[in-house]
Amino acid sequence: MYRGRYTLGDFVPLSLASRNSSDTPTLPGSAPVADVWSDSAKVLSQKLPIHDRYGTTAFFHHLLQLDSRFSAGRYRVLYRYKVGSDTKLATDTFEIVAGGHHDGPGIAMHYYHDPGNEVVLLQGEGGRLLKLRNPRL
C-alpha cells in the first residue's frame, strides 16, 4: 500500500493487521517487525506495538518520525510476523519530499534579548531544543 508523501519531521503511520492463513485476524506469537528500506540500504528495524488490544483484534500501529536517518526519496516497509509455524510478510511504500526539518515543527518557543543578539529558543516536536540567534522572517 502507498502511504503517501511526507517531509522531514513528519510522522508516518506504520500499521499492520496480522492474519492467519485463513485470512482471519490472529495475534502473532511475538510483535511484528517493520524493516524500513531506502533504495540502497536498510534504514531501521522497528517492533510494532499492539494498538487496541481489546477493541480490535491483532492490529499493530506505530508512528515513525522522519528524523536525521532519512532523506528525500522513496522508502519501502517490509512487515514480518509469525502466526503458528507460518511466517507472514506485508509491504508498504512512502515517499519523502524536499522540505521540513528532522526535528519536526516547533511546539514551544521563547524569545529573549541577549546583549548584542536577539535569541529564540525553539523546541521541536522531536524533543531537541534549538538556540537561534538573530532570527529573520
CA 59 to chain centre: 17
Instruction: Indicate the pLDDT class of residue 115, thresholds 50, 70 and 90.
Output: confident
Domain locations in the chain as residue ranges: 2-100, 103-137
C-alpha radius of gyration, the chain, whole number: 20
Contacts 24+ apart (CB under 8 A), 130-136: 130/103
Domain 2-100 homologous superfamily, CATH: Immunoglobulins (2.60.40.10)
Alpha-carbon gap, residue 25 to 7, rounded angstroms? 33
Share of the chain above pLDDT 70, in %: 99
pLDDT, average across residues 38-52? 93
Question: What integer pLDDT is reported at residue 114 of this predicted model?
Answer: 83
Alpha-carbon gap, residue 101 to 120, rounded angstroms? 17
The half-sphere exposure of 98 on its side-chain side, counting CA atoms within 13 A, is 0
Question: What integer pLDDT is reported at residue 92 of this predicted model?
Answer: 95
pLDDT higher than 70, residue 66:
yes
Question: What integer pLDDT is reported at residue 137 of this predicted model?
Answer: 62
